[in-house]
């Protein structure tokens, strides 16, 4: 601790001339800003109701896995932007006894999907086909995932867990300000896709109460009949019928064949930290591992948080890691991935060998596609810690905002547009500007590559942090920076979550800064070294929900103010 305070002071002194950007790192003069502090258990998620339902389940005697089922479904009710039954996700866990693992409930390509399904007769990508409408959806994994995890590790009955969620759907939730804006912005397209009378095509304003009776009924059937209700029951039939009428290709066989998969997490060391994150088909664990290990040899504290030197070294690591990500990673059930090689110390050292502190390494000169950073996009992450000491980091998504925009009015939920996470054509960017290769081409039953990075961090052998975020391709770099903020710059959980972030993903070759965080001195210094900076509209980069275990055994929540995230605990 003393060493840390000392190095922090030294770093601040050394970095005064180049501290030109952000600096939400704690200064010596002011009190550190803390998030919610709880004694025993905590949930941090995108909606207060979802965090509180998770807590309610744990107070009833449930553990983190029971709370996961409740929180995930409460997000499906109150946060239809990303919370879902029609999507998928990943969860990384660490049990109280230190055992670790993860579950992959990522969507799969339907059996009738094929490599060129989004290309026209000239071999060009048909705009919109993988992002909007029934053809954009993969086979959903969420219900399989939460039941698989809960049945293995949970303590309560699903019926008991789901009851408060069903009540919430019936009694309604209040539309928040941000939510009203989002609903407003997609209303037309939702009506275009689903017809004028569709539920979310109505005019919903801030303060209105939304009661989703169709979703309450779906959840009631799932509570009574279990996960097979979704994959083989009445719900499955309604889903398939609806999707096929809209030109989709998901069949009853696809649903019946869906299984969540237990995966070995990616584990690596960063100095005295042990990071546990998601393995392929998420690129999260491998890519965050590459980034952190590439910057490990540099004295980041001395550079100063978000200084020119810091932005530069992290950018170069991000650039190199995303180049590997896009080439090598895909569904491990379909492609061979050289994970050990990609995380090998010597390999990563060599990879950074071309880093020149005087000049940017420009990404390969590949013609850049149109990058839709401006596309409203949403995923959601929640972090859970129970009083027994079990920890869960869970990220779940429909991909884009409200997924494919296909809303199943009879069932009360949106379907994903996760097929866009495949590489529709080598070299053509998807909606996050990510360029894919063969490893991530479409094949029946294959899972599309993800950037979701639910992550746990141990410090000195003990659990220290639970974190993750939405943000498409920016997820990985947002999680990496949050860990570095807390570890290298000694920020509290809340400060680490709030600090300004930046992002680079190899292609397009540009550094993305959040709005109002790029000042002219930083721009000048980076431009002089040939860095390309996105000076246009800069969206927020992620919306991190995290928990830190403090030295006194208490828990600190980090709920990102970029969105309406909320921590609850006891």
Active site residues: 379
Total residues in contact with ligand DON, by rule CB under 6 A: 14
Binding piece for ligand DON, criterion CB under 6 A, among 97-105, 140-148, 332-340, 444-452: 444-452
Rounded to a whole number of angstroms, the minimum distance from the CB of residue 401 to ligand DON is 8
3-state SS assignment for residue 383: strand
Rounded to a whole number of angstroms, the minimum distance from the CB of residue 524 to ligand DON is 31
Closest alpha carbon to 158 in 92, 90, 55, 62 = 62
Q: Which residue has the tokens 């049945």?
A: 151
Rounded to a whole number of angstroms, the minimum distance from the CB of residue 405 to ligand DON is 14
Residue closer to ligand DON (CB basis): 186 or 475? 475
545 contacts ligand DON (rule: CB under 6 A): no
In angstroms, rounded to a whole number, what is the distance separating the alpha carbons of residues 531 and 508? 12
Binding piece for ligand DON, criterion CB under 6 A, among 113-121, 142-150, 372-380, 492-500: 372-380
Q: Which residue has the tokens 């409203």?
A: 376
Binding piece for ligand DON, criterion CB under 6 A, among 9-17, 108-116, 349-357, 375-383: 375-383
Residue closer to ligand DON (CB basis): 74 or 278? 278
3-state SS assignment for residue 276: strand
89 contacts ligand DON (rule: CB under 6 A): no
Binding piece for ligand DON, criterion CB under 6 A, among 116-124, 135-143, 311-319, 373-381: 373-381
Rounded to a whole number of angstroms, the minimum distance from the CB of residue 26 to ligand DON is 28
3-state SS assignment for residue 479: helix
In angstroms, rounded to a whole number, what is the distance separating the alpha carbons of residues 212 and 282? 32
Residues contacting 189, CB < 8 A, separation 6+: 132, 405
331 contacts ligand DON (rule: CB under 6 A): no
478 contacts ligand DON (rule: CB under 6 A): no
- Binding positions for ligand DON, 491-510, rule CB under 6 A: none
Query: How far, CA to CA in Å, does 399 sit from each of 118, 311, 396, 413, 439?
Result: 17, 28, 9, 14, 20
Binding piece for ligand DON, criterion CB under 6 A, among 214-222, 254-262, 467-475, 486-494: 467-475
Rounded to a whole number of angstroms, the minimum distance from the CB of residue 551 to ligand DON is 33
Residue closer to ligand DON (CB basis): 216 or 260? 260
φ/ψ region of 264 (left if φ > 0, alpha if ψ in -120 to 50, else beta) reads beta
Please answer whether residues 415 and 134 qualify as being in contact, where contact means their C-beta atoms are separated by less than 8 angstroms.
yes
Closest alpha carbon to 321 in 544, 161, 475 = 475
Site string for ligand DON, 408-437 (x = CB under 6 A): ----------x--x----------------
Tokens standing for residue 316:
């170069």
Rounded to a whole number of angstroms, the minimum distance from the CB of residue 397 to ligand DON is 5
3-state SS assignment for residue 511: strand
Rounded to a whole number of angstroms, the minimum distance from the CB of residue 387 to ligand DON is 30
In angstroms, rounded to a whole number, what is the distance separating the alpha carbons of residues 405 and 272? 44
Query: How far, CA to CA in Å, does 47 sit from each of 428, 458, 470?
Result: 35, 27, 14
CA dihedral sign of residues 488, 489, 491, 497? negative
Rounded to a whole number of angstroms, the minimum distance from the CB of residue 553 to ligand DON is 33
Residue closer to ligand DON (CB basis): 71 or 543? 543
CA 285 to chain centre: 12
Please answer whether residues 242 and 410 qualify as being in contact, where contact means their C-beta atoms are separated by less than 8 angstroms.
yes
Please answer whether residues 508 and 427 qualify as being in contact, where contact means their C-beta atoms are separated by less than 8 angstroms.
no
Tokens standing for residue 27:
């200064």
399 contacts ligand DON (rule: CB under 6 A): yes
Among 471, 508, 539, 558, binds ligand DON (CB under 6 A): 471
Residue closer to ligand DON (CB basis): 311 or 452? 452
Residue closer to ligand DON (CB basis): 476 or 511? 476
Residue closer to ligand DON (CB basis): 390 or 397? 397
In angstroms, rounded to a whole number, what is the distance separating the alpha carbons of residues 329 and 439? 6
Among 107, 229, 331, 378, binds ligand DON (CB under 6 A): 378
Among 110, 470, 508, 557, binds ligand DON (CB under 6 A): 470
Tokens standing for residue 446:
């294959």
How does DSSP assign 452-464, residue by residue? ---EEEEETTEEE
26 contacts ligand DON (rule: CB under 6 A): no
379 contacts ligand DON (rule: CB under 6 A): yes
Rounded to a whole number of angstroms, the minimum distance from the CB of residue 512 to ligand DON is 14
452 contacts ligand DON (rule: CB under 6 A): yes
Among 451, 477, 481, 492, binds ligand DON (CB under 6 A): 451
Tokens standing for residue 387:
């009083």
In angstroms, rounded to a whole number, what is the distance separating the alpha carbons of residues 78 and 234? 24
- Which residues contact ligand DON by CB under 6 A? 377-379, 397, 399, 418, 421, 450-452, 470-472, 475
């Amino acid at each position: 601790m003393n060493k840390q305070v000392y190095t922090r002071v030294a770093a601040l002194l050394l970095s005064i001339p180049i501290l030109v950007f952000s600096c939400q790192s704690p200064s010596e003069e002011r009190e550190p800003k803390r998030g919610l502090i709880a004694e025993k258990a905590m949930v941090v998620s995108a909606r207060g109701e979802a965090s509180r339902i998770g807590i309610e389940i744990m107070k009833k005697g449930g553990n983190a896995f029971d709370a996961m089922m409740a929180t995930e479904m409460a997000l499906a009710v109150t946060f239809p932007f990303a919370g879902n039954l029609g999507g998928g996700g990943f969860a990384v866990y660490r049990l109280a006894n230190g055992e670790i693992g993860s579950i992959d409930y990522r969507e799969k390509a339907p059996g009738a999907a094929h490599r060129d399904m989004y290309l026209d007769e000239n071999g060009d990508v048909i705009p919109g086909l993988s992002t909007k409408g029934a053809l954009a959806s993969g086979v959903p994994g969420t219900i399989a995932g939460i039941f698989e995890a809960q049945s293995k590790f949970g303590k309560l009955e699903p019926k008991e867990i789901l009851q408060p969620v069903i009540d919430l759907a019936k009694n309604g939730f209040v539309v928040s300000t941000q939510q009203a804006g989002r609903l407003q912005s997609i209303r037309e397209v939702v009506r275009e896709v689903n017809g004028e009378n569709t539920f979310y095509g109505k005019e919903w304003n801030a303060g209105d109460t939304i009661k989703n009776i169709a979703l309450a009924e779906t959840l009631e059937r799932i509570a009574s009949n279990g996960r097979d209700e979704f994959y083989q029951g009445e719900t499955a039939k309604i889903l398939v019928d609806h999707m096929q009428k809209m030109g989709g290709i998901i069949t009853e066989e696809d649903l019946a064949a869906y299984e969540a998969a237990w995966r070995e997490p990616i584990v690596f060391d960063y100095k005295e930290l042990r990071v546990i994150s998601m393995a392929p088909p998420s690129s999260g664990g491998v890519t965050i591992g590459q980034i952190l290990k590439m910057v490990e040899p540099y004295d980041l504290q001395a550079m100063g948080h978000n200084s020119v030197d810091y932005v530069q070294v992290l950018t170069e690591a991000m650039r190199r890691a995303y180049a590997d990500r896009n080439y090598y990673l895909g569904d491990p059930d379909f492609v061979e991935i050289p994970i050990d090689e990609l995380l090998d110390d010597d390999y990563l050292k060599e990879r950074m060998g071309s880093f020149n502190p005087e000049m940017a390494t420009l990404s390969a000169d590949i013609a850049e596609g149109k990058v839709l950073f401006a596309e409203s996009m949403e995923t959601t992450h929640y972090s859970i810690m129970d009083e027994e000491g079990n920890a869960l980091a869970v990220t779940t998504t429909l991909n884009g905002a409200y997924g494919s925009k296909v809303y199943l009015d009879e069932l009360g939920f949106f379907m994903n547009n996760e097929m866009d996470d495949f590489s529709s054509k080598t070299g053509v960017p998807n909606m996050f500007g990510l360029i894919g290769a063969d490893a991530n081409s479409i094949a029946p039953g294959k899972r599309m590559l993800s950037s979701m990075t639910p992550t746990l961090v141990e410090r000195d052998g003990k659990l220290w942090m639970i974190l993750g975020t939405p943000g498409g391709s920016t997820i990985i770099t947002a999680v990496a920076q949050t860990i570095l903020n807390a570890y290298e710059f000694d920020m509290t959980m809340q400060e680490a979550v709030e600090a300004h972030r930046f992002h680079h993903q190899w292609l397009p070759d540009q550094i993305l800064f959040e709005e109002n965080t790029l000042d002219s001195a930083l721009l000048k210094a980076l431009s002089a070294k040939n860095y390309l900076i996105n000076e246009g509209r800069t969206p927020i980069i992620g919306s991190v929900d995290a928990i830190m275990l403090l030295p006194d055994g208490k828990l600190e929540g980090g709920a990102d103010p970029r969105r309406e995230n909320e921590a609850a605990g006891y």
